[in-house]
Amino acid sequence: MLKIKNLYKNFGSIKAVEGVSFEVKKGDIYGLLGPNGAGKSTTISIISTLLQPTSGEVLYEGSNIFLDSKPIRRDLGIVPQDIALYPTLTGYENLLFWGNVYGLKGSQLKKRISEISDIVGLNERIKDRVDKYSGGMKRRLNIGAALLHMPKLLIMDEPTVGIDPQSRNHILDTVLELNKQGITIIYTSHYMEEVEYLCNQICIMDEGKVIALGRKSELVELVKEKTQISIRFDKTDVCVLNSLKEIRGVFDANIVDEGITLFGDNGDTLLAEIIAKATEHGRRIESIDVKKPNLEAVFLHLTGKALRD
């Protein structure tokens, strides 16, 4: 559906995007994951034809969007990172305004606004002024505005930043529901939990570059040896530590906070062996905590830094 090929964007001496390539297939919920300044919004602005790249190509259904921007503009709904609403108008009036921008009118527009109010869960508040809305409600209305013209491709730029958990959950559910209805989605975030939960394909960006992409399972393969296991025994000492170090696949075992924390390359089989070693030494296990590798670990592994500050 959408191919991004070797995209570069400089703002003066700032290299915002440096050689970004990825492909979004019809039906995807495609995650763009990266910390502040990674180049996510710049990439999105280019895909939305709001910004010309310094070089590189974007193909929508096989055609270059900078030679003919009509097809992508017709099919694209965009939820910008910064809320684009008129605070002194009601939710309804805002949707009327955006509907007119998209060329919708009359009873067709009214019907669509009523559907949208349902989808984003604002039915009861749609006649209230937007400056009386909570942050989460504004976000939801912002999403509604992007849906008015029935887009085939929806791009959401960090739609859950700074909002209450209830609105956040509502937005995540909406994303899944819209995707079920056939809308392809590009979802930008620096919350790896959201991207893990929603996205079937993930592109991790940092400092303008793609550092990894693929399915979540493929990305996690990159750090599969990094399962972290923390065990508390009734008594922890060097003797039990050394015996755990003998287990094949265990590395970097240390006594931490009166327990033992180790890394291993296969969490599931390690557990049985850890329990066996404990029994052998007559130790009782009080707790075991297994942390499977996640996207945070992938990011740390590839960049040497945490995804969030």
How far apart (Å, rounded) are the C-alpha atoms in residues 230 and 31?
31
Does 13 sit near ligand ATP (CB under 6 A)?
Answer: no
3-state secondary structure 283-299: CCEEEEEEECCCHHHHH
Q: How many CB atoms lie within 10 A of CB 184?
A: 21
Residue 16 site contact among ligand ATP, Mg ion, none (CB < 5 to 8 Å, cut-off depends on kind): ligand ATP
Does 48 sit near Mg ion (CB under 5 A)?
Answer: no
Q: How many CB atoms lie within 10 A of CB 155?
A: 26
- Beta strands 259-264; 14-24: pairing state: unpaired
Which residue has the closest beta carbon to Mg ion?
41
Which one of 11-19, 114-122, 229-237, 274-282 is the stretch in contact with ligand ATP (CB under 6 A)? Answer: 11-19
Phi, psi of 239, deg, nearest 5: -60, -50
Positions in 233-292 near ligand ATP (CB under 6 A): none
Q: Minimum distance from CB of 203 to ligand ATP (Å)?
A: 12
How far apart (Å, rounded) are the C-alpha atoms in residues 255 and 67?
61
Q: Minimum distance from CB of 37 to Mg ion (Å)?
A: 8
Does 11 sit near ligand ATP (CB under 6 A)?
Answer: yes
- Measured from the CB atom, the residue of 81 and 230 that comes closer to Mg ion is 81
Q: Which of 18, 42, 155, 226 binds ligand ATP (CB under 6 A)?
A: 42
Does 34 sit near ligand ATP (CB under 6 A)?
Answer: yes
- Please report the sign of the dihedral spanned by the C-alpha atoms of residue 146, residue 194, residue 202, residue 36: positive
The owner of tokens 């300044």 is 37
Which one of 37-45, 119-127, 225-233, 260-268 is the stretch in contact with ligand ATP (CB under 6 A)? Answer: 37-45
Does 48 sit near ligand ATP (CB under 6 A)?
Answer: no
How far apart (Å, rounded) are the C-alpha atoms in residues 71 and 154?
14
Does 41 sit near Mg ion (CB under 5 A)?
Answer: yes
Residues within the interface to ligand ATP (CB under 6 A)? 11, 14, 16, 34, 36-42, 81, 190
